[in-house]
Amino acid sequence: MEQTYLMIKPDGVSRKLTGELINRFEKKGFTLRAAKMITISEELAKEHYGEHADKPFFPGLINFITSGPVFAMVLEGNNVIKEARKMMGATNPEEASPGTIRGDFATEMSENIIHGSDSKESAKREINLFFPEL
Ligand code: RTP
Ligand code: MG
């Protein structure tokens, strides 16, 4: 069964959206396989977002994602990588449709509530990075 890596970002955790978001994914029919609350080190953040290392927003992104606890999850189900991304909505909340997580709960790109793996390769890499025991 397909698995993806999801992470409720520090803004989502501090706004107490963790339960609401888990609820959405479970109601959809996906299974929570693993979960933990962690504060990410700078090193892990840079590894996770390595593909963006050369982008101008990288320092701000690293600063933000390490600014407080995140809720890290492995979610399992049919086509879950793509479906979870659909449920999250567009990266920029201004473009995210109502009904999506970013469309419903965020207003700006820098604080967009949740991360989700964008491909099978990313999912494998990110699950290994955050849940090496699985
Ligand atoms: P994520 O990795 O966090 O799930 O988000 P994503 O796939 O939808 O978007 P991605 O392109 O991977 O970007 C990672 C995060 O960097 C911030 N970002 N800022 N132009 C910008 O200012 C810009 N572009 C991206 C966002 O917070 C995005 O979630
Ligand atoms: Mg991404």
CA distance readout (Å), 44 to 17, 34, 118: 23, 19, 18
Cβ–Cβ under 8 Å, residues 80 and 4: yes
The per-residue pLDDT for 133 is 95
Q: pLDDT-based confidence at 63, cuts 50/70/90?
A: very high
Catalytic residue among 114, 115, 123, 126: 115
For ligand 1, atom 22: residue with the closest CA: 57
Please state the rounded mean pLDDT for residues 5-13: 98
State whether the beta carbon of 128 lies less than 6 angstroms from ligand 1.
Answer: no
Q: Is 115 a catalytic residue?
A: yes
Q: Answer yes or no: pTM beyond 0.95.
A: yes
The per-residue pLDDT for 107 is 97
Domains of the chain: 3-130 (3.30.70.141)
Ligand in nearest proximity to the CA of 52: 1
The per-residue pLDDT for 72 is 98
Percent of the chain exceeding pLDDT 70 equals 100
